[in-house]
Amino acid sequence: MSTESGTRRRRFTVEDDVVVVDLFEPERDLLGHLLPQLSEMLMAGDDAALRRLKPPARPDDAEAEQQFRELVDDDMLLARLEAIETVEQGIDGARLDSVGVEAWMKSLNALRLVVGEVLADLGVDLAADDAEPGAEELRIAQMRSSLDWLGSVIWDLVDAASSMLPDD
């Protein structure tokens, strides 16, 4: 999509040390559709696609891993749900400070990781190029599109947020 001047409209711009969010309308609809599902999955906690959000920290030691999980899981769940809520509140437009940027970054990436796991569970090789899908593969094609789209959004947010990091 372009502005009248022909320049590419940016999803995220930096103004006065905040990141201004301005998503395209279909993107707002899709995020508004996906984020509540992610929250639901997190609260239920039993979907295999969530495993990528809790990778093992101590794969060498089952007892230590259990201790780590007991240490972090509740806090991480709460933080994820709060971050998703921040994004949902800003879908139609927001000015993000560093906390808000972090919430968006983490939530979008978590969503992308879960979509990736769902695709992997469906037997999709994420490294392979897309094939023209048949009707029975439509859902897979839609999810691959979402994976790519989320990647594009994250890329743009990283570009904006990187300009706010201290100079080297």
In degrees and rounded to multiples of 5, residue 37 shows phi and psi of -65, -40
CB nearer to other proteins: pick between 89 and 145: 145
> Using CA atoms, how far apart are residues 116 and 15, in angstroms rounded to an integer?
33
| 15/168 with CB nearer other proteins | 168
Residue 148 CB, nearest approach to other proteins (Å): 4
What angle in degrees, to the nearest 10, is found between the helix axes of 138-162 and 25-44?
100
Side chain identity, residue 126: L
Q: Taking the complex as a whole, how short is the minimal distance between the CB of residue 6 and other proteins, in angstroms?
A: 13
DSSP state of 165: S
| Residues engaged in binding other proteins (CB under 8 A) | 1, 24, 26-27, 29-30, 33-34, 37-38, 41, 46-49, 51-60, 62, 65, 68, 71-72, 75-76, 79-80, 105-106, 109-110, 112-116, 118, 120-122, 125-127, 139, 142-143, 145-152, 154-155, 158-159, 161-162, 165-166, 168
Q: State phi, psi for 151 to the nearest 5 degrees.
A: -60, -40
